[in-house]
Amino acid sequence: MANYYSYMRISTKIDRDKQSYTRQESALAKYAENNKIEYVFQFKEDVSGMSFENRAEWQRIEKIVQPGDTIVFKDISRFTREAEAGYTKYMGLMNKGVNLVFIDNPTISTDYIKELLHIAEQQDLVAKTSLESTVKLLLIVELNRAEQERLTLKKRTKDGMA
């Protein structure tokens, strides 16, 4: 039986007064209701999304998730903000058979990506290579966009305070 998990993350414990899980909880609850699913467990942690290594709850979910299971996130930035490691982790989970759902970024959820890769497999070498490269670029751009947004926000906040 396939299980559903939700994963929520806020940036750091230091910003806890400024951040909360409320928006993520609402989006995940609405997704579960609309899709008639129940989460086996909801993982929450307050730690930077720059690395998977320092995230104890993420490591817990990786240990228990099985092929056919689904992890639901509000958006890609809750998964990670680091393009290269994020792409590697994403592909590893997808190749293991784990589904990733990004409520705010449906075109990078694994079902959509698998569909694109399935179409690529049916093409000649040039079209197949082109589509596979496009999929990789799409994932990397979205992962990088999350990090760039964080850097822009950080600079604007600093500039505004000055």
- pLDDT tens digit string along 11-36? 765 554 557 889 999 999 999 999 99
Whole-angstrom Cα Rg for the chain: 17
Identify the bridge partners of residue 104 per DSSP, sorted by sequence position: none
Q: What is the mean pLDDT of the chain?
A: 89
Residue 130, phi then psi, degrees to nearest 5: -60, -45
Measured between alpha carbons, how far is 127 from 123 in angstroms, rounded to an integer?
6
Measured between alpha carbons, how far is 68 from 116 in angstroms, rounded to an integer?
19
CA pseudo-torsion sign 64, 67, 72, 78: positive
Q: What does pTM read for this prediction?
A: 0.87
Q: Out of 11-15, 88-92, 109-113, pick the least confident.
A: 11-15
Q: What is the pLDDT of residue 51?
A: 85
